[in-house]
Chains A and B, each alone.
Chain A
Amino acid sequence: SMGYYDIDDILADGEKIPCRFNLLVPGLGYLEGNPGKSIDKDTKLDLPLWLAAVLAVCTILDDADESFVDLLEPDFISPKVLNAIKADPKSVDLHSIMSHFYTLAEKWAAMYNEALLVETAMAMLKERALEIDNFASNNTKHVSSNFLYSLDEFEKKLYRVTYESKKEMRAWTND
Chain B
Amino acid sequence: MYGDLATKLILEAKRTKNLTELPIYEHELVKNILQETSDLHKDVEFLNEQQLTQTSMENDARRINQCQLFVTHLCLRRNKRCMLAYEKLRAGKIDEFSWLNIDPVLSGSKTSTSLGNLAADSIRSKACTKNLAIENLSHQEQEYFKKYQDILLDFKSSFADIDLSGDLEPPKEIFIDVRVLKNGGEVQTEYGVFNLIKDSQFYVRKSDVDRLIQQGFLEEI
Chain A residues proximal to chain B, CB less than 8 Å: 4-8, 10-11, 13-14, 23-28, 30-31, 33, 48, 50-51, 54-55, 58, 60-63, 68, 164
Contacts and interface: CB of A to CB of B under 8 A. Distances in A.
B90 to A, nearest CB: 11
Contacts of B3: 14, 48, 50-51
B148 interface: no
Interface string B3-24: 1000100110110010000000
A60 B71 contact: no
B111 interface: no
B82 A5 contact: no
A14 B74 contact: no
A112 to B, nearest CB: 20
Given A7-B14, A14-B10, A23-B63, A51 B68 contact: no
A33 B1 CA distance: 7
B139 to A, nearest CB: 22
Interface string B62-78: 11101110110011011
B156 interface: no
B66 to A, nearest CB: 5
B26 to A, nearest CB: 14
B89 A7 contact: yes
B71 A55 contact: yes
A51 B62 contact: no
A62 B59 contact: yes
A116 to B, nearest CB: 29
A10 B64 contact: no
